[in-house]
Amino acid sequence: MEHMTDWVNLGCLVWFLGCWVGYSRFARHMAKRTDCLASVMHSFRLAWMREVLFREIRMPDASIIANLERSVSFMASTTILVLAGIVTVLASSDQVYGLLQHLPFVAATTSAQLQFKLLVLVFIFVYAFFTFTWSLRQFSFCNVILGATPIFKPGDIDQAQRDTYARHTGKVLDQASHSYNFGLRAYYFSMAMLAWFIHPLAFVLAVALVVAILYRREFHSRTLHAMVEVSQDWGKPTAPDDHAS
């Protein structure tokens, strides 16, 4: 019986990783072909960077990036606290196992399987921490680029030079935002992980639900439709060479 549950848990882990990686690849692929949060935000970033070149006062632009950095920094700090909590639970897994055994709605498991699930959670939040800190660094790169950008007047540079600057600077902003989104996605899937402690079937359904929620928000949300309408001022959103939502 124990060997069978081991295989079931292994299958659950494969399903979990398959859905996570598969959805990430799907979102990256679709972002190049249809309107989504990633592609629309890319068009806004390009428009933003085109305007930056002609602004004598760039404090508002620096403030926007600083606000983004604060959001990422908050999530990175929160991830450290979550990791500390999981490690604490892992250290007292025997007591947690005894508690779970008394809950009628929790499927039968072993102490080793419980520790395995907790270790998977640890790896998820370690990954989230690294993506958040990398996002933070990339936003700091954007601040440096902004500070190094000369101030131009209309007519000083041609449209091709302006578009080149916007494309490359927008790419750095894109990558910073994508890293932040990858970290948030890790949080979404970690919520599905909680169902694994109850029953493998509940876990499978929870992972599918997370994928459905992510898909709807990124490709069919009301926020997306509103942003598409606003973006019409800059033309149809175009996807960069390597979109990641």
CA–CA gap between residue 169 and residue 163 (Å, rounded): 10
Q: Which residues contact 69 (CB under 8 A, 6 or more apart)?
A: 136, 139, 140
Domain assignment present for 244: no
Q: Whole domain around residue 212: which residue ranges?
A: 2-234
Q: Is residue 241 part of a domain?
A: no
In a domain, 240, yes or no: no
243: in domain: no
Query: Is 212 part of any domain?
Result: yes
The pLDDT score that the predictor gives to residue 187 is 98
**Domains held by the chain: number:** 1
Residue 245 placed within a domain? no
Neighbouring C-alpha atoms within 13 Å toward the C-beta of 131? 20
**Apex CA 212: angle with CA 9 and CA 4, to 5°?**
10
The secondary structure of the chain in percent helix, strand, coil, rounded to multiples of 5, reads 80, 0, 20
Q: Is 143 helix (H, G, I), strand (E, B) or coil?
A: helix
What letter would DSSP give residue 232?
G
237: left (phi over 0), alpha (psi -120 to 50) or beta: beta
CA dihedral 212, 170, 184, 224 (to 10 degrees): -40
Give the pLDDT confidence score for residue 239 in this predicted structure: 47
Residue 25 resides in a domain: yes
Structure confidence at residue 227 (pLDDT): 92
Of 122, 132, 53, 44, nearest to 90 by C-alpha is 122
Residue 207, in any domain of the structure: yes
Instruction: Going from the first residue of the chain to its last (245 residues), give the mean pLDDT of each consecutive group of 10, the final group possibly shorter.
Output: 72 96 96 92 90 88 94 98 95 82 78 91 98 97 91 82 88 96 98 92 97 96 92 56 49
